[in-house]
């Protein structure tokens, strides 16, 4: 089989991981340019916040559910190319929206006066970001199912961990590259966005190459009698199969664990530099540099944890450990760091929190194929992402309101730690359910072939 070749399966992983690397770059390309886009395009913080939230809007409204159905109906090749194409289309619309040329058009003026008071460029960029967000989340679930297919019985946790590590490197890269490119082109907003849009086009080409490899792999599976050209009625996906997902106790435990973990991490990332700035009394640049240790260590640790889980197992136990680490870190941010305001302590806590974040892709995502039938695996991933997107939409709003009402970060950090407490309870229930039903969450992912 093609996936028995070490070179072939890891080449396949690199192709799809690079697509997500470019996608993650595009997600945050505007983050370092917030003040520039406000001064040159007339945006304010409200417009920028609306633009940032637009990535999740259509997904929360149900697109991710549709994406799961498309994935299970049409397969990873069609869905992957579709999702990469949506990202390119959305990015192109956003590129047009922030361009100097668009600012001079009558359409821009009309958009600015239509519906709500927000610059036309912000509305156009938000439209593009919504379309991009649909493609990005669809791509994330497609990649997960692709890895589950190519690494079944092999180094699945390591592969998923490496994919996420490469994607997170995109966030780190764009935080440095976007300002450099902007400065190179005379404080341009358009140049960094255009650069990342071209990278997304390269990502689309990468996935097309992967699709050629996957087509050859499918032909091998058919020839070996491990698959058929036409699915049997029993193997064909049906809409009613979604009921199997929603009625699964394990699905809800995993989905709620996912939303609790990510809601305590991604919204925290948005506020962390400002938290460190106020708590340590440093400038924004220093605070951002201190927090940069978080994604770097998470990126490095995730593959190592994947290797451990592939060889030794203990996935459910790792999730419990991750929840404990999250609780300790956020409570330390709330009560200890404000009293002992030392940079070394802040970096230590950030690094330890990165360990918790590493446990999620390494332990959680490879567990899904063990509890969900393969023919509805795409829908399961998409539904998990849908639940996650709801949290990522609502939690930042909650934290913002609490921060505005209290004027300090103690209450928000307590809220983040409460997510960890709930995650620990759910991970305990997950482990207990696994013990009863024997899903194999504590077993290694690598299956040793008999001699």
DSSP labels, 227-279: S-SS--TTTS--GGGHHHHHT-HHHHHHHHHHHHHHHTTHHHHHHHHHHHHHH
Nearest C-alpha neighbor of 140 from the set 115, 168, 117: 168
Task: Give pLDDT tens digits for 318-358.
Answer: 888 888 999 999 999 999 999 999 999 999 998 888 888 77
> In whole angstroms, what is the distance from residue 403 CA to residue 192 CA?
32
Report the SS3 class of residue 429.
Answer: helix
Task: Give pLDDT tens digits for 24-75.
Answer: 999 888 877 777 888 888 888 677 777 877 888 888 888 888 888 888 888 8
Q: How far apart, in Å, are the Cα atoms of 75 and each of 14, 124, 142, 208, 304?
A: 20, 32, 9, 14, 30
Task: Give pLDDT tens digits for 289-328.
Answer: 787 777 777 777 777 777 887 788 788 888 888 889 999 9
Identify the residue with better confidence: 306 or 202. Answer: 202
Select from 1.20.1250.20, 3.40.50.1000, 3.30.300.20, 3.40.50.880 the CATH code of 1-229: 1.20.1250.20
pTM > 0.75: yes
Question: Could you count the other beta carbons within 10 Å of the beta carbon of residue 322?
Answer: 26
Select from 1.20.1250.20, 1.10.3720.10, 3.20.20.70, 1.20.58.100 the CATH code of 242-445: 1.20.1250.20
Residue 450 has pLDDT above 70, yes or no: no
Task: Give pLDDT tens digits for 171-187.
Answer: 778 877 888 898 899 88
- Average pLDDT value for the chain: 85
- Answer for the pair 3, 150: CB distance below 8 angstroms, yes or no: yes
Which band of pLDDT confidence, cut at 50, 70 and 90, is reported for residue 408? confident
- Answer for the pair 374, 138: CB distance below 8 angstroms, yes or no: no
> In whole angstroms, what is the distance from residue 156 CA to residue 110 CA?
51
Report the SS3 class of residue 186.
Answer: coil
pLDDT at res. 172: 79
As given in the structure block, the two tokens for residue 141 are 């679930």
pLDDT at res. 50: 78
Identify the residue with better confidence: 203 or 6. Answer: 203
Task: Give pLDDT tens digits for 213-250.
Answer: 999 998 988 887 765 554 544 445 566 767 878 888 88
Q: How far apart, in Å, are the Cα atoms of 69 and each of 37, 133, 384?
A: 38, 17, 13
Q: Is 332 exposed, middle or buried (0-12, 13-18, 19+ CB in 10 A)?
A: buried
pLDDT at res. 272: 80
pLDDT at res. 448: 60
Q: Give the mean pLDDT of 82-102.
A: 95
pLDDT at res. 233: 45
Nearest C-alpha neighbor of 20 from the set 149, 217, 165: 165
pLDDT at res. 235: 47
pLDDT at res. 234: 45
pLDDT at res. 4: 86
DSSP labels, 367-390: GHHHHS-GGGHHHHHHHHHHHHHH
DSSP, res 14: H
Does the fold of domain 242-445 match that of domain 1-229? yes
Ramachandran class of 30: left when φ > 0, alpha when ψ lies in -120 to 50, beta otherwise: alpha
pLDDT at res. 292: 74
As given in the structure block, the two tokens for residue 276 are 């460190």
> In whole angstroms, what is the distance from residue 16 CA to residue 298 CA?
20
As given in the structure block, the two tokens for residue 125 are 């960029």
Residue 17 has pLDDT above 60, yes or no: yes
pLDDT at res. 389: 84
pLDDT at res. 237: 56
Please state the domain extents for the chain.
1-229, 242-445
pLDDT at res. 139: 93
Residue 271 has pLDDT above 60, yes or no: yes
In the chain, the percentage of residues whose pLDDT exceeds 90 is 31
Nearest C-alpha neighbor of 88 from the set 37, 30, 22, 32: 22
């Amino acid at each position: 089989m093609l996936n028995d070749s070490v070179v072939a399966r890891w080449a396949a992983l690199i192709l799809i991981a690079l697509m997500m690397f470019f996608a993650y770059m595009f997600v945050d390309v505007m983050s370092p340019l917030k003040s520039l886009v406000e001064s040159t395009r007339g945006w304010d913080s409200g417009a920028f916040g609306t633009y940032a939230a637009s990535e999740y809007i259509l997904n929360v409204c149900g697109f991710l559910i549709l994406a799961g159905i498309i994935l299970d109906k049409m397969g990873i090749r069609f869905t992957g190319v579709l999702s990469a194409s949506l990202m390119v289309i959305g990015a192109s619309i956003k590129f047009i929206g922030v361009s100097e040329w668009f600012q001079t058009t009558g359409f821009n003026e009309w958009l600015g006066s239509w519906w709500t008071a927000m610059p036309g460029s912000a509305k156009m960029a938000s439209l593009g970001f919504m379309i991009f967000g649909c493609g990005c989340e669809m791509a994330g679930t497609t990649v997960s199912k692709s890895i589950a297919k190519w690494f079944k019985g092999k180094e699945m946790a390591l592969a998923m961990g490496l994919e996420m590590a490469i994607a997170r490197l995109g966030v780190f890269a764009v935080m440095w590259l976007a300002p450099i490119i902007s400065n190179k082109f005379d404080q341009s907003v358009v140049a960094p966005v255009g650069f990342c849009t071209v990278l997304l086009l390269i990502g689309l080409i990468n996935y097309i190459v992967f699709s050629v490899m996957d087509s050859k792999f499918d032909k091998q599976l058919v020839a070996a009698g491990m698959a058929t050209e036409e699915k049997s009625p029993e193997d064909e996906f049906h809409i009613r199969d979604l009921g199997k997902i929603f009625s699964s106790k394990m699905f809800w435990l995993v989905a709620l664990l996912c939303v609790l973990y990510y809601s305590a991490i991604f919204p925290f990332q948005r506020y962390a530099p400002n938290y460190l700035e106020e708590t340590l009394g440093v400038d924004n640049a220093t605070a951002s540099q201190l927090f940069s240790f978080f994604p770097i260590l998470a990126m490095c640790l995730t593959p190592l944890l994947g290797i451990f889980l592939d060889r030794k197992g203990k996935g459910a136990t790792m999730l419990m450990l991750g929840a404990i680490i999250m609780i300790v870190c956020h409570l330390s941010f709330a009560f200890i760091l404000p009293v002992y305001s030392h940079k070394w302590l802040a970096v230590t806590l950030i690094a330890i929190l990165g360990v918790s974040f590493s446990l999620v892709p390494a332990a959680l995502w490879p567990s899904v194929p063990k509890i969900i039938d393969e023919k509805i695996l795409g829908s399961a991933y998409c539904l998990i992402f849908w639940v996650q997107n709801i949290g990522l939409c609502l939690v930042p709003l909650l934290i913002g309101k609490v921060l505005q009402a209290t004027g300090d970060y103690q209450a928000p950090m307590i809220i983040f730690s409460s997510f960890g407490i709930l995650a620990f309870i759910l991970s305990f229930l997950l482990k207990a359910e696994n013990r009863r039903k024997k899903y194999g969450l504590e077993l290694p992912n690598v299956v040793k072939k008999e001699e």
